[in-house]
Structure 1
Amino acid sequence: MAMVTENTKKTLNAEDWADAALDAVAEGGLEALAVERLARTLGVTKGSFYWHFENRNALLKVALERWERQQTEDVIARAEVEQDARARIDRLFRGADGSKRAGQLYLAFAVASKDPLVGSVVKRVNERRIRFMVANYTAMGLSAEDARQRAVLAYSVYLGTLQLRRDAPELIPTGPEFHAYMDYISEVLIPGFEARHRASAGPLLAD
């Protein structure tokens, strides 16, 4: 047993467990986050888990932090390299993860938001995304009220597309049509958006 624990300590780290936890939540909701099940998926003993985490909630906390960083803070950081507010918003749209897994994960966390730990992170993520868009819409010259309304509308489009990607993926364009769809979204949601503002980031909702 000591040899197994030593090996797993070297081959798995806390981020491996967090990634496995996020995959489990995406597939089966928060109730799928079970230590024994994750250990089987990773091909290790539960001893590896307890080397890194005190309990399930400790793993959930790290998994939520990883989700928040990858799906919000990193995306915003990439958008912030653009000097123009319109290009920043466009890069945000195109750089956000809109995959089926991303939709499953967000919606699973949203459903479980009555859990204090989950709910606080989901609330913070939503507020951070909206706040970033409001700041950029304001920088384009919109009033505070208009910027807020435009940000909420844009975010609603994103969340709605996540749900479509999960529940009715056949409705989302693919290939060249998808990129035309993204151009249309930017033209509708970004006042004064022109082709010259388009960022070089990868596409939102990668097809």
Structure 2
Amino acid sequence: MSSNRLSVNDWTAAALEAIGRGGLAAVAVEPLAARLGATKGSFYWHFTNRDALIEAALQRWERDHTDAVIALVEAESDPLARLRLLVSTVIDSTRIPHADSIELAMLATAGHPHVAPVLARVTERRVSYTSALFEALGLPATEARQRGLMAVSAYLGHAQLAHAAPQVVPSTDADLHSYVDRMVQLLTAPLISPDPGEAGR
């Protein structure tokens, strides 16, 4: 690729790929320029410094992995269909090379001053959006929030397993379809009243 044709998107895509491979420490101007077949001058045409590239890359991650997913899900009219599409989309995304690595790298560097506000905003939006889907299914706000949190936690746990022990998660389309169906079934199960015998314990 000719360096004079590189765009901000080219640089942020390369930065995110680097984050997926080695965390924020892997975002270095000269290695990225070499990978893109560009010069440092091309980098400084778009960014004032490395921090500016990291901030732009994090904004792109937020758009691609949260904003775009929500927009896709919102195309469905039925709340249950939206929930299933959301679960299916995020679980399936863990099979994309580097996708789960980027997610886990963000969590691993949660205290970084650039990452912390973005991760907090993304997490809250994901939980709030998923909670709203449960509310649309008729659950009270408090219960909907709990299930939204459980759904996001299940996704992050799956992403960790897919990265660290891929052999334990569904690998075929059929197995993944069944797995998503079961997850949605569990997340939308009716509230279970406590056993009367347990209430006094």
Shorter-chain TM band: 0.7 to 0.9
Q: Deviations over 1:48-104 (max 9, x none)?
A: 101111000111111011100010000001111111111111111112222352221
Task: Say yes or no: does 1:8 pair with 2:3.
Answer: yes
**Contact 1:89–1:190 (Cα < 8 Å) also in 2:** no
Gaps of 5+ in 2: 191-201
- Looking at both structures, which has the greater relative contact order when contacts are Cα pairs under 8 Å and sequence separation is at least 6? 1
**Contact 1:27–1:104 (Cα < 8 Å) also in 2:** yes
Q: In the alignment, which residue of structure 1 is the partner of 2:59?
A: 65
Using the alignment, how far apart are the partners of 1:47 and 1:190 within structure 2? 53
Using the alignment, how far apart are the partners of 1:78 and 1:135 within structure 2? 16
Q: Which amino acid aligns with 2:179?
A: Y
Using the alignment, how far apart are the partners of 2:133 and 2:64 within structure 1? 21
Q: For 1:29, which of 16, 23, 29 is the aligned residue?
A: 23
Gaps of 5+ in 1: 1-6, 193-207
Question: RMSD in angstroms over aligned alpha carbons?
Answer: 1.3
**Contact 1:110–1:119 (Cα < 8 Å) also in 2:** no
Alignment length (residue pairs)? 185
**Contact 2:3–2:37 (Cα < 8 Å) also in 1:** no
TM-score (norm 2): 0.88
Moved over 6 A (4+): none
Q: How does 1:1-207 map to 2 (within 5 A)?
A: 8-9=3-4, 11-96=5-90, 97-99=93-95, 100-175=97-172, 176-191=174-189
Using the alignment, how far apart are the partners of 2:48 and 2:175 within structure 1? 48
Using the alignment, how far apart are the partners of 2:13 and 2:112 within structure 1? 20
Percentage of pairs with the same residue: 44
